[in-house]
Amino acid sequence: ALRRLPGIFQSTKKLVLNERAGQARTLEFIRQNAANGLSVANLVAGLSSVLCSLNREYHHSCWLLLVGFLLDLADGAVARRLDACSALGAKLDDFADFTTFGLATALLLQPRGVLDGLLAIAYVMAVFARLCFFSSAGIPFTYRGLPCPYASSLLAGTFLLTAGNVALLRVTAIVMILFMVDRGFYPHDKVLESQLWKKVVYAGGVAAVLFSPAAVASVYCLAWSTSYIVFPFAVWSCKS
């Protein structure tokens, strides 16, 4: 029996080491893919919003767009915080943004005729151009053109607040298209990586979207998006 003890100790040691190595690999996998998981959640929210719009459940579609807005703001912060930025993650994030803030948002315009359809296509193409072709021209912590999540949040809030006034929504969409293709500079928001009050604003957005009536959530997100669009550097420039 004594001769067997060293073998038992060795087997136990290998088992413990293998278990620790497995835990380390699991934690590393979670670290590397936490941001990707948020991008996938944003993509699912966008696809669900598309389905809601196709079934004329526009209020649910707007709620999902606001959820996608919050997920997108968290996505970049998590990737940078965990040092898990990658080419795959960037592509996944862009695809999720195009789906949620391009296709799903354009369907809120409820195109019925040729002109309405052209407006929806123009909105989607503005988001496509904003995601694919605009760069910051080497200036750090800035975007060129209005980030499409803010345009989407503003449109969703407008829809909810006006009980689906399509005429007003289409006018607002035209204005957002002009902002997105303008190439004017906007600060890299970094809401979750800046001053405490910005984090409080984000937490308030989460509470408003998940736990408040639609009117409260729409007013909150509408005010948030409008403040970024109208006063980008005066209010929202990144000051860590």
* Paired residues of 186 in beta bridges: 143
Give the span between the Cα atoms of 221 and 224, in whole angstroms.
5
Rounded average pLDDT over 97-119: 94
Domain count, the chain: 1
Which pLDDT tens digit goes with each residue over 70-88?
Answer: 999 988 888 777 776 777 7
Does residue 23 or residue 170 have the better pLDDT? 170
Range with the poorest average pLDDT among 9-18, 66-75, 85-94, 200-209:
9-18
CA angle (36 as vertex; 33, 42 as ends), nearest 5: 150
Question: What is the reported pLDDT for 190?
Answer: 80
Compare 62 and 21 and report the one with higher pLDDT. Answer: 62
pTM of the model as a whole: 0.85
Please list, in sequence order, all residues whose beta carbon lies within 8 angstroms of the beta carbon of residue 64, skipping any fewer than 6 positions away.
Answer: 45, 46, 48, 49, 52, 104
pLDDT reading at 158 higher than 80: yes
Q: 71, 27 in Cβ contact below 8 A? A: no
Host domain of residue 191: 5-236
**9 has pLDDT over 60:** no
CATH of the domain at 91: 1.20.120
Residue 237 Cα distances to 77, 150, 202, angstroms = 15, 15, 15
